[in-house]
Chains A and B, each alone.
Chain A
Amino acid sequence: MSSRAARRFAFSHEAFTVVLLVVAVVVVTQLSPYFLDAQNFSQIATDSLEIGLIALAMTPLIVVREIDLSVGSTLGLAAVVFGELASHDVPLLAAVLATVATGALAGLLNGLLVTRFGLSSIVVTLGTMALFRGLANAIVGDQTITTLPDSFTASDTRYAIGTLVTIPHVLFALAALAAALLLHRSTVGRRIFFAGSSPDVATHSGVRVDRLKVGLFVASGTLAAIAALFMTSRLQSVRADTGSGLELLVLTVVLLGGADIRGGRGTIFGTLVALALVGVVRSGMALGDLPDQARVAVVGGLLLLSICAGVAIEALRRRAAERRTTRRIRGGAELRPTPTT
């Protein structure tokens, strides 16, 4: 890493998140003797899988100046579809495919509404958040589906390596690697950054911005559906409110990871660090026996902290640059003025 790249990293949001992660690990270690345990880490990974999977799609969505608030409801709807099919003796593979298709269709609906009608994705996905949850409700009502095939519910505990790394862990690691390569090393990723940083430049350079966005919404819905499968196999049951409130966690992870809500900036690396941070904090709260409501509040607090930190880092950086230049002109030094932007 060159020295300029090093300085850029030191001033970045990602670095701030890494520091927070270290602090969180130290604090939780002090608080609980059970934290520093390989089995616990395996558990944290398992608990973070669904959030992480959806965050992999949410990161590029935020980069491209969109947002998907319907992911929790999409997950719920997909889980309900899976539960209904699997508990009615539909072959497992067919049920899985139908579930993934449900998620993809949900994402397609979001994407088309946003691009075809030029609507704000915040409002569209707020609407579909209610719509998808309502559909899930309408399908199963207040019952809980528990009659799932054993071959499916057992897959969660099937280990890939030793007794710590499960198959879902491996799948997630592969998905994260693929997402990182696509976003940061491929032409698609490059176009995503242009579409988010300067949408008009992208359009003028032949980037099909709308198509990219639809693709990302479909990816978001699809990953939410896959997360629904993971969650169902972990919890071994399905209810209409499965995954509700998940959008908040996903958003927290992505923003905490340094993605800029105004688009154009964000990394998979940052998102993964933030995922670990949220996982550690939640694990700490679980070890400390904090109830659900309080955990949600802490996560919300983390979200607010990360946004405020982003604003503060940006302001500090700009002010430092301005102060340097002002000092130069106050000192009367000759300088070549540059046109304003």
Chain B
Amino acid sequence: MKRREAPRTPERREEEKDHVPEIEGRDGAAVPVLEARAVSKVFGGTVALDHVDLSLRAGEIHALLGENGAGKSTLTRILCGVHRPDTGELRVDGAVVDFHTPAAAQEHDIAILHQEPSLFGDLEVAENVFVGRQPKHGRPPRIDRRAMRAEAAALLAELGAELDPAARVADLSLAEAQLVEMAGALSRRARVLIVDEPTAALTPGEVGDLFRVLRGLRDRGVAILFIGHRLEEIFALADRITVLRDGRFVDSRAAADHDEASLIRAMVGRDVAALHVRTRVEPGEPLLQVRGLARAGVFEAVDLDLRSGEIVGLAGLVGAGRTEVARAVFGIDRRDAGTVELAGERLRTPQQAMRAGLAFVPEDRQREGVAVELPIAANVALPILGRVAFHGWLRPGRERALAREWGERLRLKARDVEQAPRELSGGNQQKVVLAKWLATRPRVLILDEPTRGVDVGAKVEIHRLIDELAAAGMAILLISSDLPEVLALSDRVLVMREGRVTAALHHAEATPERVMQAATAEAQAVAA
């Protein structure tokens, strides 16, 4: 195969080296292929990265770890030229480089596999693999479609994928789309491959295939930066691990020098207190009843019962249909079959649901939870605007009082209630969302990933709050990808896979193994 194109000339490589008189290796080892030194990045008034170091060597799989908001994505984007650092420098083969565009990073043979495949839905598979670098033939030179498809097919075969190179990408599944991206990276013969949380939506079988490909690339001398947060995957794959916390570099060590406890300590900055222990109460009267809920192609035959004082966990892989069920229960998405009743009252629209005492804290906080540009007080008052207002006219004083009351209860840290949530941390934004829904005094609360992207302190507070609410008689549906969280808080756990509820477990019988088995239907849940 001869698809490699000269990315840059040897002369240029020499020139770049001229800037640095001596080539230095960090610990006496080979010069890193790609290195970041004291890199910082500021967005608006917030610091995303604060003097972070990272070095990647050829032939290693290097894991980048950190909690949400630790700065992993920002660092990744800097490495592949999407953002420019505000301080510090990047080096390739020891020479300082300036990636002002993604194209500049690509010229240095750096490829990235995005968390969400970033492809062109209207174009065919082969063109997505070679976009911007389509092979040409003839005179005058024209794009050679046949060669392009043949080469794409060869690359996909290398990855063990059977995909029609002429298929439209918009018609592919997520896993297939990831393979197309991977084929693109392969076609560049990249020396550095950045893989950004690729496994969130994959089945263990697909994860296994992916890891096989990554190891193969490493053995060919590619430097791989793997961003993830499933520790078992990290230990199965990584040679070295770098940990970030709150936008700062914590440490960088061989994977063998870490165990799970030390890694968690590095990520959260201290020993994690045991998860909050539920004060279980005897469930009271039935509140929410869902029967035979279905939406074509998304989920089907979902039954759900929630009783007062009960917490039901909803577990499953990303894409199993959990969020979609919650949206349909609340009435945001249309449903094709089934009924939702709250204390005997039929619910169809969000308005009916809210009136009957149902509240829904959605997954995507910044898109669906709070309007980040509008004042906290207006956000908190929105669901009960009719009650706060006087015959349709706003009463700003009452809105502020309401927001202050709930802000104090949830220990919200904000300058004042007129501040825009955009300026708050993830944990405090989540508190605004919680305040907004608790102010409706709901009987049933649906929480979709309530602790994703919040810091450890806020997470503990939210767990305690969930427990208190249940103890006070609220029925709670807890959707979370954080399995320990689900297991610790739930009275019962429902597991979904591919749009169906595959298990309903009492908290005593809900072990991580049984939940994962139901979520994946594969005997070996952990990728090896």
A and B touch in their complex, CB below 8 angstroms? yes
Is there an interface contact between A185 and B393, defined as CB atoms closer than 8 Å? yes
Given A325-B42, A325-B47, is A206 in contact with B371 using a C-beta cutoff of 8 Å?
no
- Mark interface residues in B48-82 (1 if CB within 8 Å of A CB, else 0): 10110000000000000000110101100000000
B247 at the A interface (CB under 8 A): yes
Find chain A residues with CB under 8 A from B173 CB. Answer: none
Tell me the bound Cα distance from A274 to B353 in angstroms.
43
Given A194-B382, A207-B382, A338-B47, is A201 in contact with B369 using a C-beta cutoff of 8 Å?
yes
Find chain A residues with CB under 8 A from B69 CB. Answer: 339-340
Is there an interface contact between B332 and A204, defined as CB atoms closer than 8 Å? yes
Is there an interface contact between A325 and B385, defined as CB atoms closer than 8 Å? no
A151 at the B interface (CB under 8 A): no
B360 at the A interface (CB under 8 A): yes
Is there an interface contact between B44 and A321, defined as CB atoms closer than 8 Å? yes
Find chain A residues with CB under 8 A from B459 CB. Answer: none
State which of B86, B248, B378, B383 has its C-beta within 8 Å of the C-beta of A326.
B86
Nearest B residue (CB) for A191: B385
A197 at the B interface (CB under 8 A): yes
State which of B45, B73, B367, B385 has its C-beta within 8 Å of the C-beta of A187.
B385
Minimum C-beta distance from B519 to chain A (A): 26
- Mark interface residues in B459-483 (1 if CB within 8 Å of A CB, else 0): 0000000000000000000000000
Is there an interface contact between A198 and B367, defined as CB atoms closer than 8 Å? yes
Nearest B residue (CB) for A323: B42
Given A325-B45, A341-B43, is A204 in contact with B246 using a C-beta cutoff of 8 Å?
no
- Mark interface residues in B369-386 (1 if CB within 8 Å of A CB, else 0): 111111000110011011
State which of B40, B371, B382 has its C-beta within 8 Å of the C-beta of A329.
B40
Nearest A residue (CB) for B396: A185
Is there an interface contact between B350 and A204, defined as CB atoms closer than 8 Å? yes
Tell me the bound Cα distance from A335 to B45 in angstroms.
12
Is there an interface contact between A204 and B374, defined as CB atoms closer than 8 Å? no
A200 at the B interface (CB under 8 A): yes
Given A190-B385, A197-B371, A206-B350, is A338 in contact with B392 using a C-beta cutoff of 8 Å?
no
| A-side interface mostly | helix
Interface residues on B, range: 35 or more
B368 at the A interface (CB under 8 A): yes
Tell me the bound Cα distance from A329 to B52 in angstroms.
12
State which of A185, A198, A202, A340 has its C-beta within 8 Å of the C-beta of B71.
A340
Given A204-B332, A205-B382, A341-B366, is A186 in contact with B392 using a C-beta cutoff of 8 Å?
yes
Tell me the bound Cα distance from A326 to B40 in angstroms.
9
Find chain B residues with CB under 8 A from A198 CB. Answer: 367-368, 370-374
Is there an interface contact between B48 and A200, defined as CB atoms closer than 8 Å? no
Which residue numbers of A lie inside 8 Å of B, CB to CB? Answer: 185-191, 193-194, 197-198, 200-208, 264, 318, 321-322, 324-326, 329-330, 335, 337-341
Which residue numbers of B lie inside 8 Å of A, CB to CB? Answer: 40, 42-48, 50-51, 68-69, 71, 73-74, 86-87, 246-248, 330, 332, 350-351, 353-354, 360, 362, 364, 366-374, 378-379, 382-383, 385-386, 389, 392-394, 422, 425-426, 436, 453, 455
Other than the given A187-B385, A198-B372, A322-B44, 4 more pairs (CB < 8 A) read A198-B374, A200-B367, A206-B351, A340-B71
Interface pairs A-B: 6 shortest CB-CB: A339-B69, A198-B371, A337-B247, A338-B46, A337-B47, A340-B48
